[in-house]
Amino acid sequence: MSEHDESRRAFIVGAVGAGAAASTALVQAAYAKTARPKTATAKIPTSKSPTAAGAPAEHAVEIFEGGHGVFFNDEHAATVAAFAERLMPGAPGKPGATDANVINYIDLALAGAYADQQDFYRRGLAQLDAYCRKAYDQPFAKLSAAQQDDVISALEQGKASEFEFPTAQAFFNTLRAHTMEGMFADPVYGGNKDFAGWKLVGFPGVQLFYTGADLASKEAFTRAPITGLQGRATKGA
């Protein structure tokens, strides 16, 4: 992992840190206002698991694998997945956006809780493609990591041409926010595969109880396995 990758990762992890639980609650609240997410089959992550980690049967969320998503077509899925991975790059022992299946989370969100942002994404992705083709004669997903980082920096600073609505900065801010949600929300919503994001920040998930020693300790919680919403529902049944 390059120094640039490490600093980008540190920024996102630091922004979440102890707020992982709050991030989870916000995403749960958003989904509570919508119908169940549809099942999805599309490519990017390579896991053979048929459902997202911890997803209950009534919220079956299939991992992207050979096809397209609920909302994204193949081209858009590849672009968003590549963008998210540059925002949260993986490294040995340090899962990134692809490992956490962030693309699956964003795709399902746009088919449900964030359906009002579908046009925002369509227009933003079209403008991103136009900018990349003008600057590099290639779409974003086919650029080198260094070129992708340059494009992302241009968006973040509002210096990318071809953008009207959404603006370059608005598109960057939204993708970054959704990448963070996909990394750190409960796996029941399609991201945070195998609790990758929670493990990064030491968040224990939805624990049924804490002992007095747990509450008094200043060390990371390690008494029990990380538990998501599905685990809690199963134990409470």
DSSP single-letter state for residue 112: T
Domain residue spans in the chain? 3-203
The pTM of the full predicted model, rounded to 2 decimals, is 0.72
- By residue count, the chain amounts to 237
pLDDT tens by residue, 153-178: 999 999 999 999 999 999 999 999 99
Euclidean distance between the first and the last CA atom of the chain, given in angstroms as a whole number: 44
Quick check: helix, strand or coil at residue 139?
Answer: coil
CA dihedral 10, 16, 18, 20 (to 10 degrees): -130
Beta bridge partners of 41: 68
Region 102-106: what's the mean pLDDT?
Answer: 95
pLDDT tens by residue, 195-204: 899 888 887 7
pLDDT tens by residue, 107-129: 999 999 999 999 999 999 999 99
Looking up tokens 């899962």 gives 95
Percent of the chain with pLDDT over 70: 62
